[in-house]
Structure 1
């Protein structure tokens, strides 16, 4: 064996050279890997004893992508293009032997080999779109030549991976090796040499492109099919343009298009935001004061109190990963209704082909119901998911404390209430934590984990690990009204209400927020949630616009009317009645209505959110600015290509945010615009939240 670099070595087996990459954990294309491949290929080409080359990886995977830590830094030689060109233009066969995942630059490396074999568990993909990029080492030009333009469009605009069988069917690999991959790849290389097969350079192929050339409407039709999902993102469109170039231009001209568009994305704000968020999500899992070796409490059975929308959705998360769940209700009718909705949800998922009929029965079989809280006695985790009443939650936790076994975790799904007050009614405040799921709980990825003053570190560690186990992204936060997500949301909603009093209308405010990239506006969100949440019919006296709407039975989408009028498909349209109510309220308060610009709407809705985020950081409610961004991207649909409110603030400049807030504070007399001291300090130092 010859060491090529500290990440690659070379062995010769009966005329077949084997270059092995060993760069744990995922064999990323670091400088040492690129150098090892290039040097290894050159050694083999110069050695008459070498008849063919096998490229294989040690560890659990083939090359799973570029080394993202090199992004933005000075290029390190050799570049990936140089390395891949040396492979593709070799005059001896190179066989890629693939296990685990061949992703991004890893798949591009495999595409520059003359042949590809894999084991049955291998997966393949070009996920660069998820970082706001496109494959920049020829992948946009080679993949369509192998799998066809339609399949390349699907893979590259979504980042979706395909398995070994599909790779074989599309021609991406020549063979699935059923035996040992290394020996199978060496045997395949011997067959290639013995048969005298010509070397297959993918760049020279165009047979798989012919159908696309004969279908000029293919690309526009595809754009329409993904328009809603990719709204606002540049990278999917740029990937499409590259595949168009592969179909319509010679290879080298297509590569030139790829390079031009890659550099535009790489230097643009969207890719910076998406790369930032890639690391932010991973950073959120690290809790500075909870050591990695902190023991975890076992969770083998979960109890959920409440079979409503939240309780049912929470329970589905457990059943989806094989954890038995018992749901507690106070009335049989409510329990039956909740269990029925869960089954219906699973059956609808099965109809869409996402799970099998057997999966439906297995998951429903893991969820049982009861009217007796004593049945929670043997649960390892109990999650309370009743409506937002502190008194009710305290009553439930008092009972739980006397029922559930020692060592069990008691959690509340509250979205805003004080976890410390809830914990105080128990004899085990160290075992109490907030697990704030977002609706619909079986769909939304965020889990806001709320630590109380006395929550034990092993409970925090267990909860963070449990979130990952049920396929959630967790962010740890502290106790305050609304925690992180809703506390920031309150600021936006308050400004939206004020803006319609001063001269804007709901549809104008919402359009600005949707154009910014949010999935819906402030008033659309209110209508979806229901205007009557927290509204008391008996106490209502028409004091607010919301009171007036609820009193008129305009309670949101569920009643067909709220801030908007809704048709039978729940499509909103501006309401003349709501406009009349708003104008009357403005007049009653002595407000002279004026034209409110879109820019003012955007600044007054977004900048107070950022300001509240700064206060949250000052108070230690969030560990990092990036954790706030994780909450808002996964919990509220903040556009990923803007990175989250705190990253967005940094991209604008905190000095500009501070100056604009002060302008509105002076113009409105509203103290909520007064910039947070932390943000002022950072702005004066020329720094951003990322410096913390």
Structure 2
């Protein structure tokens, strides 16, 4: 086989790493072993056409080498990094490796060849499952489906050398009729534009030669990149990354209190795999709380949503305590009532000075820093993540979610009042109002993801953006991204909209101000433009 060049591909595939990888591939004289342990492109370059084009060029350089290229995969190999692996002649998976694509969740198709190469390895059904649904695949499943060619023993080098000597391996689509039947079924089940376009690309893998298939995928990717829905989804992802701030993992949770909020939190934390120390002032209160936890767990078992063995495992992680001293050593204590508790604390349902305050709304966990130590705030964000909630860190003076929800409710009430004042035959009924809002992703997920918002939706969008501008201007929301993250996580706006501040930027702040000034006579408190809007227009900037 001659000289074997080993190239490391780890961490984010930044512009510098992509350039270095291209140079290393060009300089390699013989067979190449790619050690890949990467989750793909950096967050800021997701959906950036130029970055994806560079990854596509790397994939073609790997695929077109005359000497063998084998990839050894470990850890989380996702997105663009997995596309590099698909371009290799063979793949070896180390123990614990996992693979996946998240493009569809961002309104995209992969842009570096995955829709063409993956079906040729695993068939249409498995390719569509991974590409459309974002399903993660472990090493054993990857081997069973043909995504990887061997499971590594040790570091995988010897397996890679063996496969390199056996290339080319036998690959290809074997049953075209079954393939097309799978594609047809997937097209009928597609729920989003991205999922439908993924089906088109996977079909092209069968119907077109490899080169034109890659070109078809590229055009599809660029087309989706320019869509309003994709831009909204990408903005939402970045907004959540900004708004969560730092997060410190929490493994051992303390809960102070024994009423319903404490019991509900204990049940959720146990289900998430945390160790829970539940404490209260009196033994009677602790006993009552334990009984409530047991009752909820038994209901889950009886309903078939929990196995008895799982209940016993959860119960073993629940440690009852009497008095605050029993909370020593926990990573974070959630205060559901006032008490003399030391260490990192988070207030939930109770107001405490200099303690972060958690407000829960739908999947949102808004954490108001409240002047607390950054470490305490970060632990609160870590707890929210562990429980499957979306953490958004704000400042004192909110909660932001309540202010936004109130503004939306007032705008809807104004529209309803105007409708009621009109002729019954010409008025806007509740069903029509809800449909109009949902079509624009306001307080619901509508099917109509394109087109121009009507007057009703524009009023509501403007009310949300105006209140968001007030929150940023008052220093309660650290940035417009925080407002968007809160609005989306709380269900006030659909994820694909990108949130009210993103929508305002798309229309333009001068247009927003014009509308608000025109409506201010109707309700000055609701529609008068926030001072921040004037300031940003004067500076030629949008919401950031």
Q: Give the TM interval when normalised to the shorter protein.
A: 0.7 to 0.9
Equivalent-residue separation in structure 1 for 2:60 and 2:344 (angstroms): 59
Q: Which runs of 5+ in 1 are unaligned?
A: 1-13, 228-232, 386-395, 415-421, 424-428, 522-596
Describe how 1:321-470 pairs up with structure 2 within 5 A: 321-326=273-278, 336=291, 339-345=294-300, 350=305, 358-367=309-318, 374-379=322-327, 380=330, 381-385=332-336, 396-397=337-338, 400-401=339-340, 404=341, 406-407=342-343, 409=345, 411-413=347-349, 422-423=351-352, 429-430=353-354, 432-439=355-362, 444=363, 446-452=364-370, 454-470=371-387
Correspondence for 1:393: none
Contact 1:100 1:121 in 2 (8 A): yes
Counting only pairs closer than 5 Å after superposition, residues 42-121 of structure 1 correspond to structure 2 as: 42-44=26-28, 47=29, 50=30, 52-57=31-36, 62-70=37-45, 75=50, 79-121=54-96
Structure whose CA Rg is larger: 1
SS of aligned partner of 2:326: coil
Instruction: Tell me the residue number matched to 2:435.
Output: 511
**Matched residue, 1:157:** 132
Structure 2 residue aligned with 1:650: 505
Match of 2:493 in 1: 638
In the other structure, the counterpart of 1:527 is none
C-alpha displacement of 1:78:
8.6
Q: Using the TM superposition, name which of 129-138 and 209-218 deviates more.
A: 209-218
Q: CA deviation at 1:626?
A: 0.7
Structure 2 counterparts to residues 285-304 of structure 1, below 5 A: 285-286=244-245, 300-303=252-255
**1:297 & 1:120 partners in 2: Cα distance?**
25
RMSD between superposed Cα atoms in Å: 3.3
Task: For 1:456 and 1:209, locate their aligned partners in 2 and report how far apart those are by CA, in whole Å.
Answer: 61
Distance 1:215 1:154 in 2: 11
- Kept in 1, the 8 Å contact 2:236–2:485? The answer is yes
In structure 1, C-alpha distance between the alignment counterparts of 2:61 and 2:310, rounded to whole Å: 48
Counterpart mapping for 1:600-619 below 5 A: 600-619=455-474
Cα shift at 1:214: 4.4
Residue deviations 1:41-65 (CA, integer Å, cap 9, x gap): 4444xx4xx4x321114xxxx2321
Write the mapping of 1:139-154 to structure 2, written as runs, cut at 5 A. Answer: 139-154=114-129
Measured after TM superposition, the shift of residue 599 of structure 1 is: 1.9
Counterparts of 1:76 and 1:407 in 2: how far apart (Å)? 45
CA distance in 1 between counterparts of 2:302 and 2:493 reads 30
Question: How many Å apart are 1:345 and its aligned residue?
Answer: 4.1
Q: Is 1:679 equivalent to 2:538 in the alignment? A: no
> Which residues of 2 match residues 242-321 of structure 1 at below 5 A?
242-286=201-245, 300-303=252-255, 305=257, 307-308=259-260, 310-319=261-270, 320-321=272-273
User: How many angstroms apart in 1 are the aligned matches of 2:299 and 2:60?
Assistant: 54
Deviation per CA, 1:620-647: give whole Å up to 9, x if none.
Answer: 1111111111112222262222212111
User: Which residue is equivalent to 1:572?
Assistant: none
Contact 1:31 1:77 in 2 (8 A): no
Q: How far 1:341 sits from its partner (Å)? A: 2.6
Per-residue deviation at 1:286? 3.4
User: Number of residue pairs matched?
Assistant: 523
TM-score w.r.t. the length of structure 1 is 0.68
Shift of 1:236: 2.2
| 1:479 paired to 2:379 | no
List aligned pairs for 1:580-599, cutoff 5 A: 599=454
User: 1:250, CA displacement in angstroms?
Assistant: 3.5
Q: 1:660 aligns with which of 515, 518, 543?
A: 515
TM-score (norm 2): 0.85
2:404 equivalent to 1:488: yes
In the TM superposition, residue 602 of structure 1 has moved relative to its aligned partner by: 0.8
Are 2:542 and 1:688 aligned?
Answer: yes
What is the distance in 1 between the residues matched to 2:264 and 2:114?
40
Per-residue CA deviation, residues 466-502 of structure 1 (Å, 9 max, x unaligned), is 434444432222333x510111101111222232222
> After superposition, what is the alpha-carbon deviation per residue over 1:305-325, rounded to whole angstroms, capped at 9, x for unaligned?
3554x5444223321232214
SS of equivalent to 2:72? strand
Q: Please give the alpha-carbon distance, in whole angstroms, between the structure 2 residues aligned to 1:345 and 1:645.
A: 38
Aligned-partner SS, 2:454? helix
Name the stretch that deviates more: 235-244 or 99-108. Answer: 235-244
Structure 1 residues 106 and 307: CA distance shift in structure 2, 3 A: same
Moved more, 316-325 or 463-472: 463-472
Q: Aligned equivalents of 2:18 and 2:382: distance in 1? A: 35
CA distance in 2, matches of 1:157, 1:506: 35
- Measure the CA separation in 2 of the matches of 1:76 and 1:495: 41
Change in 2 beyond 3 A, CA 1:496/1:27: closer
Q: Deviations over 1:159-188 (max 9, x none)?
A: 2210000000001111001222234423x2
Tell which has more relative contact order, 1 or 2 (C-alpha 8 A, sep 6+): 2
Q: Give secondary structure in 2 for the equivalent of 1:623.
A: coil
In structure 1, distance between residues paired with 2:520 and 2:52: 53
Query: How far 1:99 sits from its partner (Å)?
Result: 0.7
2:424 paired residue number = none
* Structure 2 alignment gaps of length 5 or more: 420-427, 446-451
Native 8 Å contact 2:7 2:32 kept in 1: no
Q: 1:654 and 1:601, CA in 2 relative to 1: closer, same or farther beyond 3 A?
A: same
CA contact (8 A) 1:19 1:40 kept: no
Judged with a 3 Å threshold, the aligned counterparts in structure 2 of structure 1 residues 602 and 434 are, in CA distance, closer, same or farther, namely same
Q: Partner of 1:256: helix, strand, or coil?
A: helix
C-alpha deviations, 1:201-257, integer Å up to 9, x for none? 86xx2226542224564224432xxx3xxxxx4322222221232244333333232
Tell me, yes or no, if the aligned pair for 1:305 and 1:382 is still in contact at 8 Å: no
Answer yes or no: is the 8 Å Cα contact 1:313–1:342 preserved in 2.
no
Q: Cα distance 1:334–1:180, how it changes in 2: closer, same or farther (>3 A)?
A: closer
| Cα distance, 1:132 vs structure 2 | 2.4
